Amino acid sequence: MEVLDIIRPENQVFCKTGLMTDATLTYCPGCGHGTAHNITMEVIDEMGVVEDTIGVAPVGCSVFAYDFMAVDMTQAAHGRAPAVATGIARTWPDKYVFTYQGDGDLAAIGTAETIHCCNRGENIVIIFVNNGIYGMTGGQMAPTTLPGMKTSTSPYGREIETMGSPIKMSELIANLPGTYYVTRQSVHTHKHVRKAKKAIRKAFENTRLKKGLSFVEIVSNCNSGWKMTPNESNIWMEEHMFPYYPLGDIKVNGKLKQVA
Amino acid sequence: MSELRLMKGNEALAEAAIRAGADAYFGYPITPQSEVIEYLMDQRPEKRTGMVVLQAESEIAAINMVYGAASSGKRVMTSSSSPGISLKMEGISYLAGAELPAVIVNVVRGGPGLGTIQPSQADYNQAVKGGGHGDYRMYVLAPASVQEMSDFVSDAFDIAFKYRTPVMILSDGLIGQMMEKVVLKDERKRLTDAEIDEKYGSWATTGRKGRERNIITSLYLEAERMEQRVRKLMNKYQRMEEEDLRYEMIHCDDAEYLFVAYGSSARIAQKAVELGREKGIKVGLLRPITLFPFPKKQLFELADQVKGVLSVEMNAGQMVDDVRLAVEHKVPVEHFGRTGGIIHTPEEILEALEQKIVKDGSIRHHTTREPSLL
């Protein structure tokens, strides 16, 4: 086979996602954000809805999501993305509106906005990347930080007695009648990436069908914040994060899958 | 069709929003402005014009819904009263930073804290000096009648879109709650989605159809770019001063003394002007209609003519600072105001003018001035 044959479109097996910009990702090597961005954009691209898609970027590591995702995007104040998305979705009911948020943004400062947006069943997609830590500000304790986990604001480990237990947002909002699809995924292996992408596709299909709110949690690593190598962080995630945040669908087509 | 009606200020404002072709209203109940959302819900604007009305879970959510709709080119409004406006300040700063058009209404009550539900003008500084964080200003309109509560809504939208900036209508519990006759403007058609794409497609996030993608943000981590953005904002505010300053002068031609008052206080001060003139005191009234931009030049010039100025406000003395800055110590400037929800009478205002300004001419030095509260 000649080189010219290899680069023919019909022989191409992989290419850069069309809806990712050429900007260099600002995420740490090993971080799951890049993959989560990538599959979100692949779904928009494959559905052919880029002209009708509006994203909302959060505050946190993914504050610059709009530098990487080549769709129209609005940057929201910390925690307010679900309210900002509500404002867009209500006035442009035929658009595909999504938020992309981390755990500090969605589960701490923006808890009220998250819960009420879910409760109203806004016709949007929320992509929630949960790595159990505040990455952007330098590794402080998040509402999702595991018990005993050391962070810069819980240097001796998270104490449940004084700091409460980590919040399981997906289980919490799945109990609201307004949510239509709630699932928990990860992007640390090829298998998981494919599953997560399917979940995101399903979420955006729900928007197309005007089914209401779809919530895709992605349990991810933060090798920098957790002070591990990327590989160590993925192993730690499997051993510690997944038992507390089990992967899988929690609510499908408006029905709870199992009692958590 | 324009029509004459007897309405509360809050209701007139809500009706005006529908007629101004607003696409959406997001709000949260708080006294004394809850009639705005109540009226809107009652009118079923989604049927009348297609306007969206939604009761948010908080003032914070409401202003961020405004931010979302505004970022996608829609005409959007919110309203609240003092404590609620404090909660909105984060969102207002973001609106200013991201250069988004929106109308925010404050039907002011007394503070600080939970304060009182009675009328007040104690949010002057918050509205005019920024309120939220960072280098920004808001264009601030101060209605003095139910008619202006109605008229200023479409004016506010026009300014908001002319400059891509948040505009505040700074009312108070008196104007919001009182009933007066009002001539309602004709209905303006809402823009279609295609018209929005055409008019605002250069910046609004409506989906990248046939154009480069748009990004709405207020984040600039490079110092030079951030400074550039701040400069751009400052140029905008400068242009507002040159092109969109609004004020009214009443009996100023031959005035020897001057009241400066806005909103409810201006209505009352106008009566005090009449009472003063009956007594032979030649007093006039300068009513700033926009509080930012402020009629600085007009005040500076009037200070060459009058012997003293009394700033009349329903607060402990806020606008008086701006009056003093404009007058540049040419003549004494004093403040008179009631707080706690007490509305000053024309007689009180005139008496304050006589005691603080007229009594001993123009020689009193600022450092010896008496407490301005009764």
The tens digit of pLDDT for each residue in B162-187 reads: 999 999 999 999 999 999 999 999 99
Burial, A16: exposed, middle or buried (Cβ in 10 Å; 0-12, 13-18, 19+)?
exposed
| Radius of gyration, alpha carbons of chain B | 21
DSSP bridge partners of A154? A151
The better pLDDT of the pair B365, A63 is held by: A63
pTM over 0.90? The answer is yes
Beta-carbon separation of B64 and A54 below 8 A: no
Beta-carbon separation of A50 and B215 below 8 A: no
Question: Does residue A75 fall inside a structural domain?
Answer: yes
Categorise residue B21: left if φ over 0, alpha if ψ from -120 to 50, beta otherwise: left
What count of CB pairs under 8 Å joins A to B? 131
Question: Does residue A158 fall inside a structural domain?
Answer: yes
The tens digit of pLDDT for each residue in A202-252 reads: 999 999 999 999 999 999 999 999 999 999 999 999 999 999 999 999 999
Q: Please check whether residue A208 touches B, CB under 8 A.
A: no
Q: Please check whether residue B123 touches A, CB under 8 A.
A: no
3 state DSSP class of B5 = strand
What percentage of residues in chain A have a pLDDT greater than 90?
A: 92
The tens digit of pLDDT for each residue in A68-90 reads: 999 999 999 999 999 999 999 99
With b for 16 or more beta-carbon neighbours within 10 A and e for fewer, the B225-257 pattern comes to ebeebeeebeebbeebbeebbebeebbbeebeb
- Would you state the structure tokens that stand for residue B313, as one six-digit string? 């406000």
Question: Does residue A18 fall inside a structural domain?
Answer: no
Q: Helix crossing, A111-120 with A81-91: angle to 10°?
A: 30
Find out whether A72 and A51 touch, Cβ atoms under 8 Å. no
Question: Does residue A14 fall inside a structural domain?
Answer: no
Question: Does residue A63 fall inside a structural domain?
Answer: yes
Identity of residue A75? Q
Structural domains of chain B, ranges and CATH numbers in brackets: 3-197 (3.40.50.970), 247-368 (3.40.50.920)
Question: Does residue A22 fall inside a structural domain?
Answer: no
Q: Helix crossing, B82-97 with B59-71: angle to 10°?
A: 30
CA distance B40 to chain A (A): 16
What residues in A contact B26, CB-CB < 8 Å? 87
What's the domain range around A239?
A: 27-256
Residue B120's nearest CA partner among B334, B323, B265 is: B265
Q: For residue B38, what are the CA distances in angstroms to B10, B45, B70, B150?
A: 10, 12, 22, 16
What is the spatial distance between Cα A138 and Cα B70, in angstroms, rounded to a whole number? 32
What is the spatial distance between Cα A117 and Cα A213, in angstroms, rounded to a whole number? 8
Question: Does residue A6 fall inside a structural domain?
Answer: no
Quote the ipTM score. Answer: 0.95
> The domain spanning residue A192 has which CATH number?
3.40.50.970
What is the spatial distance between Cα A94 and Cα A102, in angstroms, rounded to a whole number? 26
Identity of residue B307? K
What residues in A contact B208, CB-CB < 8 Å? 50-51, 70-72
Question: Does residue A129 fall inside a structural domain?
Answer: yes
What is the spatial distance between Cα A178 and Cα A254, in angstroms, rounded to a whole number? 8
Q: Helix crossing, B346-353 with B263-278: angle to 10°?
A: 70
What residues in A contact B61, CB-CB < 8 Å? 80, 83, 86, 112-113, 116
- Would you state the structure tokens that stand for residue A1, as one six-digit string? 């086979």
Say which of A75, A80, A92 has its CB closest to residue B60: A80
Q: Which residues contact A39 (CB under 8 A, 6 or more apart)?
A: A187, A193, A196, A197, A200
How many domains is chain A partitioned into structurally?
1
pLDDT of B372: 52
What percentage of residues in chain B have a pLDDT greater than 90?
A: 94
Beta-carbon separation of A112 and B94 below 8 A: no
